[in-house]
Amino acid sequence: MEVTRKEMIMDTVFILSSRGYMVSDLDLAGLTAYDLIARKGGERYVIKVLYNIDTFRSEVAREMISISKAIDAGAVVIGRRSSVGELEQGVMYFRHDVPILSLESFEDYVDGNKPVIFSGPGGYYMPIDGERMRRLRESLGYSIGQVSSRAGISRRSVSLYEAGSAATVEVAEKIESLLNDGIGREIDILQITRNSKSESSTGDMADSFLREVFNLIQKAGYDIFPTRKTPYDAVACEDHGDVFTLGAIRMIRDEMARIRAIVKASIALESEFLLVSDSEKSITNLPERIFTIRELETSCKNGDLRPLLEKNRQS
């Protein structure tokens, strides 16, 4: 019987929780940018679970990367198959710069067995630990030319591999056989996310209220990572580590479910939250503190949002 996506999510939660990870609530109010947040100590993951990885869209990938970079987490998709077949254990795949692993590979990963093979155009590749390859070659007394001749590859290729270029699995295995040891470099999800490009620009935004909120927060020194597939409107962060989810609230009574979802999501992200209303009056009769746009403006003019965040903690 075919496994379902819901079963895959539950299996992912079990793998993580059984290894000491704190895993976010499964019901995050219809989040589509990710399914789970997992953390253990300083290690964090933003996780999307898909049965078929071909359904993974670029806009979702961009949001996953932005959110992950803001909280210093690794963005990863756990999948089962693509249009060409089931995902292989021990192989990392990519869609839109986000790492993808099978459930079995992810289990290996959190157990400390990171993959050294990735799928790319035309086949499978191994990222080479160039410094290790050079040390092994020199310890055996081989020149670059001797490795080139015995492995059946060009001298230039040997030099590129020792500089850290990836090789096809077939070529890497020839070199490993010649050097009598492994030369693969483990693939680290967090490092991939840190090196990924993300946009902290608000771009062209038709919503004037949201644009005003974003501009004020940017002037206070925060980077803004807008989101469209989460209950919050953006994640904001600054260099010294302050991170918060942002919700621009209009019709408060119509948005109570979203307000609670923003608070809930911020807990999962281990971040603060900031709710801003276009009303001219402060909202004091709700469990969640909602600030007016003028309160935000005053705080931003002072160049410090921490007093507002501190008031949230005291609510």
Residues 255-279: tens digit of each pLDDT: 888 888 888 888 888 888 999 988 7
Cβ(93)–Cβ(218) under 8 Å?
no
Question: Which residues, 6 or more positions from 112, have their beta carbon under 8 angstroms from its beta carbon?
Answer: none
Coil, strand, or helix at residue 277? strand
- Predicted pLDDT of residue 201: 53
Angle at which helices 5-17 and 103-110 cross, to 10°: 10
Where is average pLDDT lowest: 6-15, 35-44, 198-207? 198-207
Bridge partners, residue 46, by sequence? 37, 75
Count of CB atoms within 10 A of residue 308's CB?
21
The model's pLDDT over 28-73, given as tens digits with 9 standing for 90+, comes to 556 688 999 999 988 999 999 999 999 999 999 999 999 999 889 9
Does residue 160 carry a pLDDT above 70?
A: yes
118 DSSP 8-state letter: E
The model's pLDDT over 87-143, given as tens digits with 9 standing for 90+, comes to 999 999 999 999 999 999 999 999 999 999 999 998 999 999 999 999 999 999 999
Coil, strand, or helix at residue 76? strand
3 DSSP 8-state letter: P
The model's pLDDT over 208-261, given as tens digits with 9 standing for 90+, comes to 889 899 999 998 888 888 888 888 999 998 876 778 999 998 877 778 888 888
Residue type, 39: R
Does residue 204 carry a pLDDT above 60?
A: no
Cβ(57)–Cβ(17) under 8 Å?
no
Domains and CATH numbers, the chain: 5-115+189-195 (3.40.1350), 125-179 (1.10.260.40), 208-314 (3.40.1350)
